[in-house]
Amino acid sequence: MKFVHIADMHFDAPFTSLNSKENLGEKRRLEQRNAFKKVIDYVKENTIEYLLIAGDLYEQEYVKKSTIDYIAKLFNEIPNTKIFISPGNHDPYIKNSYYDTYDFGDNVYIFRNSNIERYEDENVNIYGMAFNEFYMNNSPLENIILPYSNKPNILLAHCDLNGSKDKEGFSYNPILESKLNSIGFDYCAIGHVHKNNLDNKNKIYYPGSTISLGFDELGKHGMIIGEIKKENFNMNFIQLDERNFEELEISVDDFDSKEDLIEELLNYRYNKMTMYKVILIGKRKFEINTREILRVVSQTNILKVKDQTKLDYDLEELSKQNNLKGIFIKEVLSMYEEGKCTEAEYQKAIEIGLEAM
């Protein structure tokens, strides 16, 4: 059987972290559609028998009916492909959700229960489940035992490998990778983590989010394609996201002023389809205001600026001077050593004070 495995599409995500750049959130929503269209076109052109969607296809809180109509329209373009969906924590199968009320087509099978279900046809056994809430603290995968079959057994699930509770005390179908591997599936098509794990040797794969949702999702994004028989298995990865998110380190060692730094940022040769998070490093001789820098370079591909620089002063030597600078540094250093200010506050006070003097 030939299959395509995707996850974490997150249709109609608000992209709040990208809103500092005009219309970029809207562009990303259009790029989501373009990536999904590529999936359907690939399925159509390569006569793929099964499309496996491992959860978070859309955002329950934000999704529009027009987006659901768009998804269903594309599903209808591949009527001979069996489409399976395992609802996740962002698109749970709950009352009055689109999974509950919308007719996606005869070729679409949506797992409805938090307990394991099995779909069987002449080629494969597909096991799956659904989030019925926005979290799942106890995984039904812990107790599953596979009966013998001469057909491949595939798991389709939205789950958190080796996961733990979040800061609010919730879990998202957590299971140990060693436990899942011991069950004996021929392939585990899973979703939830937005970074792919293509180097895994256990036949347990995250494809990652289909397009990157921000700077915490660096690297390639797309879909897994594969062919599986009971006795052998092969797979590959196809990148779908044309836009990249990259971190760019720039040293300020050779800059004498903020104007020098801004000039460097304005003249940098940016890739048109790459959005950058600039990380400033090195020793600075001037005060850095990241908000001001972002405002000035707003016409570039820079979305974020992070300051990790240190002051370019020999504070120990300056503190020995019998003048206003020396007295000031000793006073601030004393406050820091007594725990009256943080290191960041200490550095900022030194910077502003010395610049003023």
Query: What's phi and psi for 219, nearest 5 deg?
Result: 95, -175
Q: What is the mean pLDDT of the chain?
A: 91
- pLDDT(338) > 90: no
**CA 221/CA 241 separation, integer angstroms:** 6
Q: Are 38 and 32 in contact (CB under 8 A)?
A: no
User: Residue 96 has what DSSP assignment?
Assistant: T
Q: Which residues pair with 311 in a beta bridge?
A: 284
- The residue behind tokens 């490998």 is 161
**CA 97/CA 53 separation, integer angstroms:** 17
Q: Are 212 and 246 in contact (CB under 8 A)?
A: no
The residue type at 123: N
Four-CA torsion 345, 298, 239, 127, nearest 10 degrees: 60
Percent of the chain with pLDDT over 70: 97
pLDDT in the model for residue 12: 94
Higher-pLDDT residue of 65, 148? 65
Assign 19 a pLDDT band (cuts: 50, 70, 90).
low
Kindly report which listed range (66-75, 136-145, 162-171, 200-209) carries the lowest average pLDDT score. Answer: 162-171
The residue type at 168: E
- What is the DSSP code string of 8-45? ---BT---GGGTTSTTHHHHHHHHHHHHHHHHHHHHHH
Q: Are 152 and 230 in contact (CB under 8 A)?
A: yes
Six-digit token string for 202: 């256990």
pLDDT in the model for residue 230: 67
Q: Which pTM was predicted?
A: 0.84
pLDDT, one tens digit per residue, over 124-146 is 999 999 999 999 998 999 889 99
pLDDT in the model for residue 318: 73
CATH class of the 2-239 domain in this structure: alpha beta
b/e code 73-90 from CB counts within 10 Å (16+ = b): ebbeebeebbbbbbbbbb
Q: Could you give the 3-state DSSP secondary structure of residue 310?
A: strand
pLDDT in the model for residue 20: 63
Element holding 284 (H helix, E strand): strand 283-284
Span 6-22, mean pLDDT? Answer: 83
pLDDT in the model for residue 200: 87
Assign 189 a pLDDT band (cuts: 50, 70, 90).
very high
- pLDDT(272) > 90: no
**Residue 138 CB coordination number (10 Å):** 11
Q: Could you give the 3-state DSSP secondary structure of residue 118?
A: strand
pLDDT, one tens digit per residue, over 196-238 is 999 888 899 999 999 998 888 888 999 999 998 767 788 999 9
pLDDT, one tens digit per residue, over 273-332 is 898 999 999 988 888 999 999 989 987 889 899 999 987 776 777 777 888 888 888 888
CATH 3.60.21.10-classified regions of the chain: 2-239
Query: What's phi and psi for 34, nearest 5 deg?
Result: -65, -40
Between the two ends of the chain, the Cα-to-Cα distance in Å is 74
**CA 187/CA 97 separation, integer angstroms:** 29
Assign 195 a pLDDT band (cuts: 50, 70, 90).
very high
> 145: closest CA among 115, 184, 188, 181?
184
